[in-house]
Amino acid sequence: MEFILIRFLSSALLPPLSLLLLAFLGSFLLLFRRVTGWFLLVFSLAGLFLLSVPAVATALAGLLEHRPAQGSANLGDAQAIVILGGGSYQAAPEYGADTVSGTTLERVRWGARLQ
């Protein structure tokens, strides 16, 4: 039970649930404190809107992706290359079965280049 509560609280602190909870709190406060309620409601809905705009999402992702991918020059003593999956293409008619998606194919190609 404690694990479930911790997981719920940790996910409640992250958007979009945190902003939705703030919007519900703002709409509840409209009954008692109109100015504070309106402020919380407008602030949370504006935050939800800004997080859904692709330009803002790209700018925020750019803050995390400040380093280029490492080349083969600094692999050192690596013993394995791990390639994370990026999806699959179900029942591909040209192959007659399932195959990897374009994202997975790009990752496999980069792994082959590193090797």
Q: What is the 3-state secondary structure (H, E, C) of 9-44?
A: HHHHCCCCHHHHHHHHHHHHHCCCCHHHHHHHHHHH
Task: With a cut of 50, list the residues of the chain below it in pLDDT.
Answer: none
What is the reported pLDDT for 85?
86
Contact 83, 107 (CB under 8 A): yes
What is the reported pLDDT for 73?
65
Q: Is the bond preceding residue 68 a cis peptide, omega within 30 degrees?
A: no
Nearest alpha-carbon partner for 40 in 49, 30, 31: 30
What distance in Å separates the CA atoms of residue 41 and residue 61, rounded to the nearest whole number?
A: 26
What is the reported pLDDT for 27?
94
What is the reported pLDDT for 70?
63
What is the reported pLDDT for 2?
84
What is the reported pLDDT for 44?
95
What is the reported pLDDT for 25?
93
